[in-house]
Amino acid sequence: MTRKKMERSLVLLKPDAVDRGLVGEIIRRFERVGLKIAGLKMVWPEKEHASKHYTEDLAKRRGQHVRDLMIEMLMSGPIVAVCVEGVEAVEIVRKMVGATEPKTAAPGTIRGDYSHVSFKHADSKKMGVYNLVHASGSAEEAESEIAVWFAADELHGNKPSYTKHTIAY
């Protein structure tokens, strides 16, 4: 029998999610699939903090201009940082969030249900893409991103009841 891997993933509810009053609805979706909240807090990021999240690696992959826009977007209002944990949490969260470009995100995903902006529109307005949420792309990325937003004593393990007999923790 293959044992499933418990993971943690970072979810940032971006300023547009907070502004639109979608925080509870989005968190509810993660809880409904059985993911547990290991950490939760509201922060209004300053440039230094936002720059630690959107690292130079983003500039290498997508260009410094895109990184600058994403940092600016993240600083535009308060965000809610959430650390979720569960079986293969990174993959589950990515699937629930949907495609990065809201207009191409499938219905039923968070971005597909609650946003519609295209890359083309964001580029024409010279702004970052307001797509409600950030979700870690890999377990390794999650680990480093969680450390940007949470101190170790701000995270709390919470074994889901479904793990007690069927999954090694």
Cα-Cα-Cα-Cα dihedral of 9, 169, 24, 82, to 10°? -30
Domain that holds residue 62: 6-147
- Mean pLDDT on 153-166: 72
State yes or no: is 134 an active-site residue.
yes
Q: Is residue 167 part of a domain?
A: no
Phi, psi dihedral angles at 124 (to 5 degrees): -65, -30
Interval 144-151 mean pLDDT:
97
Domain count, the chain: 1
In a domain, 132, yes or no: yes
Torsion of CA 116, 88, 154, 137, to 10 degrees: -50
Q: Which residues contact residue 129 at a Cβ distance below 8 angstroms, ignoring those fewer than 6 apart?
A: 70, 73, 100, 101, 102, 117, 119, 122
Does this model's pTM top 0.85? My answer is yes
Residue 109: predicted pLDDT? 97
Q: What is the pLDDT of residues 23-80, one digit of tens each?
A: 999 999 999 999 999 999 999 999 999 999 988 777 677 778 888 998 999 999 999 9
Residue 157 lies in a domain: no
At 159, the amino acid letter reads K
Average pLDDT of span 128-142: 94
In a domain, 107, yes or no: yes
Has residue 124 been placed in a domain?
yes
pLDDT tier at 160, thresholds 50, 70, 90? low
| Percentage of the residues of the chain whose pLDDT score is greater than 90 | 72
Say which CATH number the domain at 79 has: 3.30.70.141
Please identify which of the residues 53, 65, 116, 134 carries the catalytic annotation.
134
Mean residue pLDDT of the chain comes to 90
